[in-house]
Structure formats: C-alpha cells, structure tokens
C-alpha cells in the first residue's frame, strides 16, 4: 500500500456515530421487524456494525450494483450484479449503503425496489456527499456523516479493491 492516506474520521468517531444512528433506527422501527438490504461490497462493513447495534428484529439480504469499476468517478451506468434472494413484499426495508454521492445508483435502485411491494423503504448511509448529488430526489433517511467532495477509503470503501479493511475513513492523497 504505497498511497498516502489521511484520516478523515477516526475509528472511534465512526463507531460512536453508528451507535447513535442504530439507536434512532431502533426507535423508529420499535415493534416492527426490519429487513436490511446491504449494498455490496462496500456496505458490508457498515451493515454488520449497524445490525449488531439494532434492538429490533432484523433480517438481512444482499445486493450488488456497480457504477464505478476501478475508477474514482461513477460511470453513470448502473447495473445489478447480484439481486436479492428474498421477496420484499410487505416488509419494512432499510437499504444500507456505504456512501452516496451523485445519487444515480440509489435513484435507480429505489425505483427497482419500490416495484417489489415493500411496506416501507428507507435509506441509510455511512457517508453522504450532497454537493455531488445529481439525482436530487434521493432522500437519505439516516446519515452517519456528511463529508466534503474527497475520494475516501476504509470501513468498506475501496480504491481499486484496496483499503476496504481500514478501521477508519481516510482520504487517498494522490
């Protein structure tokens, strides 16, 4: 790993904020079962940490979509690489994403998933870059951190499949 990485959010900051968001989600879904949809690959680290802290019954499924490849900017073309294994019919769904920037992927994904008949569908993200938002209609219900327009890695986020395992959020200094 020859790249220099500057820490943007420490492991302690990330863990504290995930606990706070999990508390809010647990309150909002009290008395209900929550179906988490983890967006792979980056979302798996955040989803696992979030799920451990939720106090409501949770089921889990995985979906993989791609719009980046090995680049640092979205191509704008969204494709489903792995679809869900379970039906969403009448479930309270929470999509869990690592980062939202342009909103193209989530805009497309929300439309696809709404057609599958969930009771409700909300969006949770570890990181949000609203200044990069192209699809303004993407409403994020739970955001851990709003960050500046920098290319970040760690806690599941990668650069060409590297750095996902960092326990903090960092900025690759190119």
CB 155 within 8 A of CB 129: no
CB 64 within 8 A of CB 92: no
Catalytic residue, candidates 28, 92, 101, 158 = 101
Output the 3-class SS for 99-143.
EECCCHHHHHHHHHHHCCCCCEEEEEEEEECHHHCCCCCCCCCEE
Q: Distance between CA atoms of 150 and 113, rounded to whole angstroms?
A: 29
101 is known as an active-site residue: yes
Distances 167 to 21, 53, 107 between C-alpha atoms, Å:
18, 17, 29
Q: Measure the CA angle with vertex 80, ends 142 and 148; round to 5°.
A: 40
Catalytic residue numbers, as ranges: 101
């Amino acid at each position: 790993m020859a790249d220099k990485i500057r820490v943007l959010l420490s492991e302690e900051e990330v863990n504290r904020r995930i606990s706070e968001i999990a508390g809010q989600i647990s309150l909002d879904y009290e008395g209900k079962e929550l179906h988490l949809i983890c967006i792979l690959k980056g979302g798996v680290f955040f989803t696992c940490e979030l799920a451990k802290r939720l106090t409501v019954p949770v089921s889990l499924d995985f979906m993989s979509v791609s719009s980046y490849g090995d680049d640092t900017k979205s191509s704008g073309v969204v494709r489903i690489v792995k679809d869900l294994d379970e039906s969403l019919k009448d479930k309270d769904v929470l999509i869990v994403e690592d980062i939202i920037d342009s909103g193209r992927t989530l805009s497309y994904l929300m439309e696809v998933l709404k057609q599958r008949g969930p009771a409700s569908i909300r969006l949770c993200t570890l990181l949000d870059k609203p200044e990069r938002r192209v699809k303004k209609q993407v409403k994020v219900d739970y955001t851990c951190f709003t960050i500046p327009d920098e290319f970040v890695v760690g806690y599941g986020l990668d650069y060409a499949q590297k750095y996902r395992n960092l326990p903090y959020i960092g900025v690759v200094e190119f």
